[in-house]
Chains A and B, each alone.
Chain A
Amino acid sequence: MRNMLLVARREYLEQIRGRAFRFSTILVPVLVIGLLGVSAFTGRRMGRGKHIVVAADNAALAADIRSNLLEDKRAEYRVDVVAPVTDQDREQLLARVEKKSIDGLLTVDDSAGDAPHVTYISQSSTDLLDTGDLKTAVSYGLLNLRLTQRGMTPEQVHALVENVPVETLQVSSNGKTGKGQGMAPFYKAMLMTFLMTMPILLYGLDMARSIVEEKSSRIFEVMLSVTRADDMLTGKLVGVGAVGITQIAIWLAAAVILSTSALLHPLLSGDIKIRFTLMEAIFFPIYFVLGFFLYSAFFSGLAATCETAQDLQMYVSLAVVPTWASFAILPFLLSNPNSRWVVAASLFPPTAPLVMMPRIGLSMPPAWQIALSVALLLLTIWAVVWVASRLYRVGILMYGKRATLPELLRWVRYS
């Protein structure tokens, strides 16, 4: 135990003092802030302040479309109307689009009666925001026109087509009905899966790489003469795990400070507010540690059988499969967090930490499922550490070539 703790302490201090730790601890928040800044900036600029000309035969319809477009204050459109429009007008307007003196030309040909022909011509083929806005504006305009032609007053039409707000409510397990959070659960599930997956994978790989490095530095024989292979492996897992928790704690602290500071306020003033519950705060570290131990022990066993980082690469692509599977199950998770497949994935140890955490965030699963997933994880970790420490004990003293599968099985048997 003493030597295990000494190994853990060495691993922790060496990594914390290392340049890579400082670099990634600072770089990740800087990158996140940078990305937020870029997306906020581009989001604000995208589709804003465009100059559009609405060309239609029916002047009332064109004016109605114009007023619909101008209703979207955030888009800051400049809209001109040409109605009634002649062929010559159309040609001139097309020329203006080509010269970019206007951003787009919306023509509405209502002459065919019930089947109007609407085109939007611009130099940008990817302006999805515009086409969405335009479609809505034209649809409302045409609907207004048709209904007034059938004898309704504009006020009646307005009352008929007014947006009906749908309030989303969420029932918690104790039967209380609370206000839903709109898109927030989706982003929260994504965030949790990401926060759980990336550090587990990165630190697991870091652990594997450091074992391959230490193997090539021939340190293991000296170490094995003073400490047991199990203590070395466990010490390494504890040390690297503690580094991971330290780093995530620093990131979260930085996130809390930044999100409450004035600096990021303009970037975070969107409609989505993600809040974490006490349950999530309790279970996140538990599932993180369990997931980390499971994957790191697995990677360690593999790493002990490898000679070079290239050898390791081959295994790593296989080892990340459950992680991708967890991302693949996210859509099912979001649409029905209690479906059979989602429950199975949240109990299956390799995917449990990555699926159960978002599940807890979306709708609290029954206690027995959480207890079972933790128990299965502990059992699997024990088994993986058992096999990994055997591979480790034999593998770290084997030099020269990567072991074949039959050799690995023999190592597990006879060590």
Chain B
Amino acid sequence: MNKPVTPQSVGLSREDLPNSYIGRSVPRSNVRKLVQGRATYTDDVSLPRLVHAAFVRSPHPHARILSIDVSGATAMPGVVRVFTGADLAKVCDPWVATLAHLKGMKSAPQHPLPLERATWQGEAVVAIVADSVAHAEDAAGEVIIDWEPLPAQADMETALDAGAVVIHPELGDNLVFTRTADTGEVPAAFAAADHVLEATFHTGRHTGVTLEARSIIADYNSADGTLTVHQSTQAPHMMQGVFAKQLRMNEGDVRVICKDVGGSYGIKVHVYPDEVAVAAMSRILGRPVKFIADRFESFVSDIHARDHRITGKIAVMNDGRIVGFDIEDLTGIGPYSVYPRTSAIEGNQVVNLCGGPYDFKHYRCSTTVVLQNKAPTCQYRAVGHPIATTVTEGLVDLAAEALGMDPITIRRLNLMRDDAYPCNSPAGMKFEGLSHHASLDKLLAMVPVERLRAEQAEGRTRGVYRGLGFASFIELTNPSPFMYGIGGARISAQDGCTVRMDPDGSLVALSGVTEQGQGTEAILAQIVAHGVGVDLKKVKIITGDTQVTPYGGGTWACRGAGIGGEAALQAAIALKDQILGVAAIMLQTEAEALDVVMGHVVERTTGTSRLSLAELGRLVYFRGDTLPKDMPREFVQTRHFITKEYPFAFTNGIQASWLEVDVETGLVTLLEHWVVEDCGRVINPMLVDEQVRGGVVQGIGGALYEHCIYDDTGQLLTTTMADYMVPMAAEMPDIHVDHVETPTKESLLGAKGAGEAGTAGAPAAVMNAINDALSPFKAKVFAQPFTPDRILRALKRY
């Protein structure tokens, strides 16, 4: 039993063996309920005495609340109660979203409903609880708020100026956080370089647009003092802690249940004041309160992201070697840093990740994070990566152009060598093992570069402008406590899994990571089936219930497979050891002589079945009287896993985009897209591929269409899906995906994250392809989204 367990000894690459599920494209068992309309999203849950909440939201980006008259609303049909900020403050404490390791970071206390001022258009100010959504919304129209509009600080560019509106006077200014990474000799190195290229990039504020809007039912039971929350969330345990802390309850008295989640992408891992308000209202009313955001509310109150302006410089030598990067990032995050992850992480990631794929010496990168009167921003899929990749890859292409060098050649020359690991990046990131060159090789085997270049040249003679763009990237996955925990946030970096065998030999695995469609439950089932040695159909996975599953962080930052998967594998292997131990006693042999294969205890050498798990279960659970008295009876094991050697498991990859720009209309037509990425051990290729494709499409959305547009006064103009455009099927190209596998040695499973790679690289690949297409005109675009208007302006068509 004490032999070292290795990936080889547990057969992680034995794809051809009948009981190996690792690396196999098996369908997700939980898709069938989705296609039959039998899923359970939060809005599908109904409870006795359920009442519904609607919110009155601020029409002003910044305004003082002089008075609130709720008498008319209270008298409306079906209304149970109307709540103001002061009402909720009696039972709910405010929170401040800062992290101690982000030195000097500051933000203001935030209440579920504000007490004195609204600080962004769309901030929930008054809540109505009624017997139906319609009645609550009817009554919301009758609330009279006497507003004193205040000057708004909408523009992040002037947020630190002398005349700026200081949004929270007690903070002194609008500076939330600033950090610079500096290797020390950037000015001298740049002065000595043969070429320095510069550009200013805008990544464009956008948001996640989960098709299922934010959804919550809070059910406070005053009889036993418990709060049960049904919530569409990525992090049930974190939310359990948040509700307990803010409502002054014991964590054990709060249960968060999360069944099916209709999209998340980072949007549903944050604390939203209106959702905390729902919990507080249920605490007061002692009955269940439901709130389902409508689409307008989603646009004005879901977190936004990527509102960055970045000025970047790259220094290169004549031989193409990159000397260094010098980058300044500015980001506006709205009026509050978002709890508990904070809104400084995205800027911090830009500092960590710029230049990431390349071998160079000199680096200076600063981020400045400021407050403004717009919707709060926070972590959205691929946090900071698309920004850093766009800046890095945009600058690399500028350098290539200045040197007259092919974009592939300059990358080949400068990408970190595949034998260079472990090593640190100039930004201080620790890399365990990456595969930039192997990924580039694989990409070039897929992309018919010569044919496309010939097509491009031929097209230009006919006025058809096509472009090919590349983007290498790194991605931060499997985060350790270095991401949030060390800063004081109660966000678990470890995750747990309990695996048990039931009497019929079937397995139940309970996991702290969660499912939002990525396939978490499917890959956990594959891992458990493989780890124990049973048919996949014999495994049931349970996630999303804090009262049932082991404590864990949930699913975010690409940790479901890498962290949750490893916990499941360790628990499964431990259960298998238990099974073999018991079977050995019953069969009067040594455990080492036995194995478990497809639900049977077999002789290791011959594969002959000695005992089915169903028979083993029957005997142990029901005929314990026939077994030796001192024989252990447990068929259940729990393991937790946390990364220890590296703060993050970095992954890498490269993308290519082939597209056409209509220089008369400015329209971009995507023709084809390729991705090679290295997420370590691939557990289910089909799921990973479609995760990558979905990520690419979200990245394309930000690159071409998606934009939260505000007017100068801070009014959001894009509040319907007709105004805020997301990618549609007809606009998307076929996306070819392949993998290089460099398993992390931190875990037996070796899996790293895959869900953000697509989003990390796609905008840069598209930008570089557009600029390649426009190269005959010496026109370039650097401001996302790359709309027809912006492309025509770059072409000086008007």
The answer to whether A and B interact is: no
Seen from chain B, the residues whose Cβ lies within 8 Å of a Cβ on chain A are: none
Q: Which residues of A contact B (CB under 8 A)?
A: none
